[in-house]
Amino acid sequence: MNLIYAGLFLILAMVLSLPFLVKKIEEELELFLFMAGCCALSLTGQWSIRLVREALVEPIKITAAVLLAGVLFRLFQRSITGNVNKVIRAIGIKRFVFLIIVALGFLSSAATAIITSIILVEIINCLKLDRKTEIRIVVLTCFSIGLGAALTPIGEPLSTIVIAKLRGNPYQADFFFLARQLGWHIAAGIMAFGLIGMIVTRPDCKNGQRLSGDRQENLKDIFIRTGKVYLFVMALVFLGTGFRPIIDAFISKISYRGLYWINMVSAILDNATLAAAEISPTMHILQIKAALLGLLIAGGMLIPGNIPNIISAGKLKIKSSEWAKFGVPVGLIAMLVYFFLLQ
């Protein structure tokens, strides 16, 4: 058993470090995680027909949502972006920023974090503010999207994998399980980020360098992204099951306060991968809530932390230092506030 634990910790260390250290692995993260999950299952002898069936079925809902939302957005893209300036003139830029941060945060639970991030990029391309202000709006909106997407299992891979792992006893997690457990925490956070967005938006600063968007997506991009999401969730199912021995033996015994602060590591590591390695039905509900809130909040601090950050920063060419300059202090303050709310 000690050799199995050692092997699992080695795989876990590779999963948490190599995507951050090796560019090629970062680019092919889905395939890397799939291979790591297969290794963990082989090491622990947990392969079964039931598990393979679960891994094939579990990604269907979120990938279908990603595909549908992607196609719909492409069809209505011009209509959406064409009305941005009309809305700004009607309600003002500060109210518009609040509306976008809050609306995309809640919308991400249905349209997925991926699609709402793409919508954000299109909206930023329509604004005429300075680069610093636009970066702040992007960071705050990604915090909001990262929180809101966790409300349903179709919002992002993290929530998909958590629902899959808690579906049995004792939690019997259904579609709205996370909304019931974290709903008011998430709603309050989304509203708070919207208010901060109003405060930091400076409508008088419209000169100087601005953010510039990447090329528009085509249908091929949409289908490739959908396939990657399917493989990513499938890999997380394998990883979650493969790591179950160390979750039950070690992680489930950490206090909820410890899990909350440990999960600040999601600022530099994908929070869905960490959720697959941590969450287990053997954990107390307070441990689960603390672990998830830590992952969701810290995931917005740096670009690698979650999917919205990666998409938005990549398309708008935001540098890591630019993101961190605003994202880290905002994230640390949010972590402190939520820590006291957990007491």
Structural domain boundaries of the chain?
2-341
Position 225, amino acid: R
In this prediction, residue 287 carries a pLDDT of 93
Q: What is the pTM of this model?
A: 0.85
Q: Return the closest-CA partner of residue 128 out of 84, 91, 95, 78.
A: 84
In this prediction, residue 140 carries a pLDDT of 97
In this prediction, residue 216 carries a pLDDT of 67
Give the largest Cα separation in the chain, rounded.
Answer: 66
pLDDT of residue 39 exceeding 90: yes
Three-class SS state of 205? coil
% the chain with pLDDT above 90:
46
Tens of pLDDT, residues 286-343: 999 999 999 999 999 988 788 899 888 888 888 888 999 999 999 999 999 999 988 6
pLDDT of residue 208 exceeding 60: no
Helix residue ranges per DSSP H, the chain: 2-21, 23-27, 29-44, 49-57, 60-82, 84-91, 93-126, 131-148, 157-165, 177-200, 219-242, 244-249, 256-262, 271-278, 285-298, 307-316, 320-341
Quick one: tokens of 32? 């890397």
Quick one: tokens of 153? 């299992």
Q: Return the closest-CA partner of residue 195 out of 126, 99, 314.
A: 99
Three-class SS state of 212? coil
pLDDT of residue 134 exceeding 60: yes
Contact residues for 53 (Cβ-Cβ < 8 A; gap 6+): none
pLDDT of residue 153 exceeding 70: yes
Name the pLDDT band for 159 (thresholds 50, 70, 90): very high
In this prediction, residue 332 carries a pLDDT of 96
pLDDT of residue 215 exceeding 60: no
pLDDT, averaged across the chain: 88
Among all chains, which residue has been given the structure tokens 């920063």?
Answer: 313
pLDDT of residue 181 exceeding 90: yes
Q: How many other C-beta atoms lie within 10 A of the C-beta of residue 208?
A: 9
Q: CA 143 to CA 194: how far, in whole Å?
A: 10
Q: CA 135 to CA 107: how far, in whole Å?
A: 21
Quick one: tokens of 69? 């939302």
Q: CA 44 to CA 245: how far, in whole Å?
A: 8
